[in-house]
Amino acid sequence: MQDLLIELQQALVHAGSAGNEVYSASGGGDQDLLCPHPSCANKPSYTELRSLQRHYPSHIPCEAACPCCKRNFASARKYETHMKQCFRSHGTDDAWKDAKAQRKRQHRFARDELARIMSKKGIASSMNTQELQLTSLGHRREDLISVATGL
């Protein structure tokens, strides 16, 4: 695991990335970022990748119940938002840590799926595939560091 972490850090340094960049669509082209989901075909575009990444989980199906209040959710975004609020007021520390880890995994899945779709469809005209992957890698980097250091 330590070797993987070192390799990842070297790749990020080589690419000039700290792993926490926010890429703006306005700097490299005339088009903004469009959500690739069919239901968003006629909706306004996003000017920052971060905003699109925050929006996209609303399209990821999620059949999960809140571990605290047992309420069911159909989308990852609604589940993620609810868990934040519910556990702050009702959850225990251990349950909150578990919920945060689950929320992080779901968010990472949504980011990875968005990067895959955008690069496959060529939607991100003003940024290259490497930038999309680096954005996703930045969040994986945090997870790898916590696993490697035992935090």
The radius of gyration computed from the CA coordinates of the chain, to the nearest angstrom, equals 17
- For 122: left if phi > 0, alpha if psi spans -120 to 50, otherwise beta; the answer is left
State which residues form the domain around 131: 2-149
What pTM was estimated for this model as a whole?
Answer: 0.49
Q: How many domains does one find in the chain?
A: 1
Asked whether residue 40 carries a pLDDT value surpassing 50, the answer given is yes
The rounded distance, in Å, linking the Cα atoms of 92 and 49 is: 33
pLDDT value at position 68?
76
The rounded distance, in Å, linking the Cα atoms of 130 and 88 is: 36
pLDDT value at position 22?
37
Cβ count within 10 A of residue 56: 24
Asked whether residue 4 carries a pLDDT value surpassing 70, the answer given is no
C-beta of residue 8 within 8 angstroms of C-beta of residue 31: no
**C-alpha dihedral, 148 to 17 to 131 to 4, nearest 10°:** -30
pLDDT value at position 120?
76
Higher pLDDT, 133 or 64: 64
Higher pLDDT, 36 or 15: 36
pLDDT value at position 104?
80
C-beta of residue 74 within 8 angstroms of C-beta of residue 63: yes
Helices (H), the chain: 2-14, 49-55, 76-90, 93-121, 129-149
